[in-house]
């Protein structure tokens, strides 16, 4: 599903970026150009980042074990 129509970015691309370390809208803007035109997609893009963070916490991790993801790398 397209999240950012202006830049043709899908939810799958945002989730993939999250798995690769994107943790903020600014990082998504740098990596995928999400919300760099009209900005109407910014809230939903941030929501997807947050949902994936919650999913990470509930994944196969020991209680209290943080989700280890690589740092956000622009590119
Ligand atoms: S829909 Fe994403 S910038 Fe316009």
Residue 30 falls inside a structural domain: yes
Evaluate: CB of 37 within 6 angstroms of ligand 1: yes
Residue 12 lies in a domain: yes
Residue 18 lies in a domain: yes
Residue 21 structural domain: 2-56
Domain total of the chain:
1
> Nearest CA to 45 among 17, 73, 74?
17
Q: What are 6's two structure tokens?
A: 């202006």
Note if the pTM is more than 0.75.
no
Distance in angstroms (rounded) separating the CA atoms of residues 50 and 56: 10
pLDDT of res. 20: 84
Q: What is the mean pLDDT of each run of 10 residues along the chain (75 residues)?
A: 96 90 89 95 93 58 52 55
Residue 15 within any structural domain of the chain: yes
Q: Please work out whether the CB of residue 28 comes within 6 Å of at least one atom of ligand 1.
A: no
Q: At 21, which CATH number?
A: 1.10.10.1100
């Amino acid at each position: 599903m397209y999240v950012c129509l202006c830049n043709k970015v899908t939810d799958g691309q945002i989730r993939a970026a999250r798995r690769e370390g994107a943790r903020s809208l600014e990082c998504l803007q740098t990596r995928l150009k999400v919300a760099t035109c009209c900005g109407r997609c910014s809230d939903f893009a941030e929501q997807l980042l947050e949902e994936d963070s919650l999913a990470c916490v509930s994944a196969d991790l020991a209680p209290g074990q943080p989700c280890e993801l690589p740092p956000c790398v622009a590119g």
